[in-house]
Amino acid sequence: MGMHPDEIVSGHPSITLSEVHAALAYYYENRERIDADIQEGERFVAALKAQAASSPLRKTSGKGTPMPRTIRFHLDENCHRAVAEGLRRRGIDVTGTPEAGLQSATDDEQIAHALAQGVSFYPRPRLPSPPCSGN
């Protein structure tokens, strides 16, 4: 990194100067093993990147355009309307089952809609109704 120990402490106030010096001493005493671990990690990352290059998520849509950098969501009818409204207020592209005309649609139909629209489908688990209070 090329930083002096004082600069490291300035950038990370939870670390003391003596801890920085102890870490440096450990590194210099174990440099070969640590450098080998770093190189192994770099090879691992390179292999993952190579595998990801052929991922369908990296491919373009049928229109020849890359996938969007933002995720769009479709929420099923079990998600409270306030969830969609809150996400929209934060600038997130969200559709819900009512707007899509998919009330009572199966999860497979919801998934087909999400795929056709290029959005992520978020099905909220259907929970049993809470018992009545008795009054």
Number of domains in the chain: 2
Higher pLDDT, 80 or 63: 80
Q: pTM for the complete prediction?
A: 0.40
- Note whether residue 10 is domain-resident: yes
- Note whether residue 102 is domain-resident: yes
**pLDDT, tens only, 22-61:** 999 999 999 999 899 889 888 888 887 777 666 555 555 4
- Note whether residue 59 is domain-resident: no
- Note whether residue 79 is domain-resident: yes
Same domain, 39 and 79: no
- Note whether residue 109 is domain-resident: yes
Task: Quote the domain boundaries for residue 84.
Answer: 73-122
- Note whether residue 32 is domain-resident: yes
CA distance 135 to 129: 16
- Note whether residue 81 is domain-resident: yes
- Note whether residue 62 is domain-resident: no
